[in-house]
Amino acid sequence: MTRALLLENPHPDADRILASRGIEVTRVRGALDEDELIGALDGVDVLGIRSKTRVTARVLDARPHLAAIGAFCIGTNQIDLAAATRHGIAAFNAPYSNTRSVVELAVGEIIDLTRRVTVKNSRMHRGVWDKSAEGSHEVRGHTLGIIGYGNIGTQLSVLAEALGLNVIYFDTVERLSLGNATQMPTMESVLREADIVSIHVDGSSRNTNLFGDREFSQMKKGALFINLSRGFVVDITALYDHLVSGHLGGAAIDVFPEEPRANGEAFESPLTGLDNVILTPHIGGSTEEAQLDIGRFVSTKLADYLDTGSTEMSVNLPDLQLRPSASSRYRIRLIHRNTPGVLALVNQTFAESGANIDGQILSTAGGIGYAITDISSELPMEALEAISTMPDTVRLTVTPL
């Protein structure tokens, strides 16, 4: 029986989809630390996580039998992908499923901060009636600067323009402008012009401390700042200083350098207590619609990989799909080091055993290669033994068709 362990409470549809494909599912509600995770993975084939659990090289070295990891979220920086690849463990995520949810939160926060709703709300809770237009504005006619013009940044650009915002953006790679958005040559050029700056960069380590005192100083006086991307992108102390000094007019922060591992744990930040700051507990993608889509998408990718070897949209293995013919009896999947001549050696070994190859496909990415071979003959056990012991073999899997 194939076993899956799901942590951090992904949508229940994930259990249903995996179970329908013959996979036994066990759930643990919260995140696990390294030692706990190593223990919990004994006999487990598939691991599902969200953003809190760290799947380190130590974990993967201790459990190299793991077949696949599913990140029920956008980011995969919590997984040591190099270690996973080294062991031939496929990793999948959900890069698009919560895009709309994050964008809608950003739009709501742009309006709330521009209208000073946070300040009015805080004063009302203290029993102060402050009916005044001072400092409150429409978003129409203001300039939104987007840092990171990927899936989320582009969709935010479209909705913001529909609200009447002028959109400028910066990305480290060339991106097609949507609508009337304008690509700027540098991040600094965006910061100096934008009334609102929204961050939507990926989880790459190169984005660590992307925003600090220097970047906040480059922003316009009274500008608003939004971060729904990664906690390590922003120096929170520098942000606090620019807020209390009055240089920035407000901020909305959903992600933090240090976050509690579970609901109910204490949260601390210099930003708590500031009336012009919206703080949310990493809920950018936490809508029922997004979590449903993520649960279905990732669990389907995991099940497809176990059933057919499909690595479509894997984040660490070459993208391969092979449709079997009606006569195919076995699918042989070989993850191997990307060395010239591996496939020729594999086919020679099959030929010497008399195996009849129905279909075959190979792809490589960096230092790893992945080959799928369908055969219609009896399973060539001696050939499989020879292939499994080749110096370049990382993982060999045989699936009946």
Per the annotation, the verdict on 142 as an active-site residue is no
Amino acid type, 38 = I
Per the annotation, the verdict on 259 as an active-site residue is yes
Per the annotation, the verdict on 282 as an active-site residue is yes
Q: Which residue has the tokens 């076993």?
A: 3
Which helix (H) or strand (E) is 125 found in, with range?
Answer: helix 117-125
**Residue among 14, 91, 13 at smallest CA distance from 4:** 14
Angle at 278 between CA 155 and CA 187, to 5 degrees: 50
Distance from C-alpha of 60 to C-alpha of 55, rounded to nearest angstrom: 7
* The residue count for the chain: 401
Catalytic residue among 11, 142, 200, 230: 230
Distance from C-alpha of 230 to C-alpha of 208, rounded to nearest angstrom: 9
Which helix (H) or strand (E) is 373 found in, with range?
Answer: strand 368-375
Distance from C-alpha of 51 to C-alpha of 76, rounded to nearest angstrom: 8
Residue 213: C-alpha distances to residues 146, 209, 219, 247, 268 (Å): 19, 10, 10, 11, 21
**Residue among 52, 109, 96, 117 at smallest CA distance from 227:** 109
Catalytic residue among 86, 242, 282, 333: 282
Distance from C-alpha of 294 to C-alpha of 308, rounded to nearest angstrom: 21
Q: Which residue has the tokens 């971060």?
A: 227
Question: DSSP label at 281?
Answer: S
Q: Which residue has the tokens 């030692």?
A: 35
Catalytic residue among 87, 259, 329, 337: 259
**Residue numbers annotated as active site:** 230, 259, 282
